[in-house]
Amino acid sequence: MIMSIEKTWRDIDEQSDEALLSLLQPKALNKLQSKNPLSTIRKNLLLNGIMGIIIACFYIFILIFFPYWQIQTCIAAVLIFTVWATAGAFRLRKAIDGNVETLSLLEEMQRHYTNIQQWISSQKWAGLIIYPVSAAGGFMLGGVAGAQKSVDEIMSKPIMIWALLICMAVLTPLGYFLAKWLSHKAFGQHLKLLKQNIDDLKEKN
């Protein structure tokens, strides 16, 4: 009877060790890490930054090959906004460290959550200023490329001034809501999960 009990306990110990070893395997660790919202947010920040670099290069191309001061002024403003937002994405990504050891896990998660929310919010408000400028630049760029005329020639007609104002009035809210949707698509669900993890840690503490 005693031998049977000892054998049973040995089997349990061996099964526990095997289960622990299986969790420590690289594949299992990668699977656990993939469920970390900060890890996904970090990846999306990288994609956001790369896309920002590509868009910035496109704006530089426009500045070089469309030498009209009206277009260049608008595109330069949008380029500055793009560089600022892209730099912010890379800065946030660099600050996120999935292996938190020196600081409290709860404090670290709260800090990242706050910083990312502030970054998204600041882009939204700055966008309300830059979207009309972007719409104006795009309108004049389209006119120059399509009509093969200078900006002064295109904008000399009063109807074109009205068309420009209507374009700015329509595209500004569209740009705002599109940026808001893209931001939610990239970070919304993961920030929600991060906030849930923060709340769970607070309850345990």
C-alpha span between 97 and 36 (Å, rounded): 11
C-alpha span between 33 and 94 (Å, rounded): 17
What distance lies between CA 196 and its chain's CA centroid?
20
| Closest among 19, 92, 83 to 53, alpha carbons compared | 83
Q: Give the type of residue at 68.
A: Y
Task: Render pLDDT for 73-125 as a digit per residue (tens, 0 to 9).
Answer: 999 999 999 999 999 999 999 888 654 554 577 788 888 899 999 999 999 89
How many alpha carbons lie under 13 Å from residue 203 in its C-beta half-sphere? Answer: 6
Q: Is 148 left (phi over 0), alpha (psi -120 to 50) or beta?
A: left
Q: What is the pLDDT of residue 103?
A: 53
Task: Render pLDDT for 131-172 as a digit per residue (tens, 0 to 9).
Answer: 999 999 999 999 999 988 999 999 999 999 999 999 999 999
CB-CB contact of 85 with 125 (8 Å): no
Read off the pLDDT of each residue in 11-26 and give the average, rounded to a whole number. Answer: 44
| Closest among 65, 94, 58 to 79, alpha carbons compared | 58
Q: What is the pLDDT of residue 197?
A: 85
Q: What is the pLDDT of residue 10?
A: 52
Task: Render pLDDT for 22-59 as a digit per residue (tens, 0 to 9).
Answer: 434 444 434 434 457 888 899 999 999 999 999 999 99
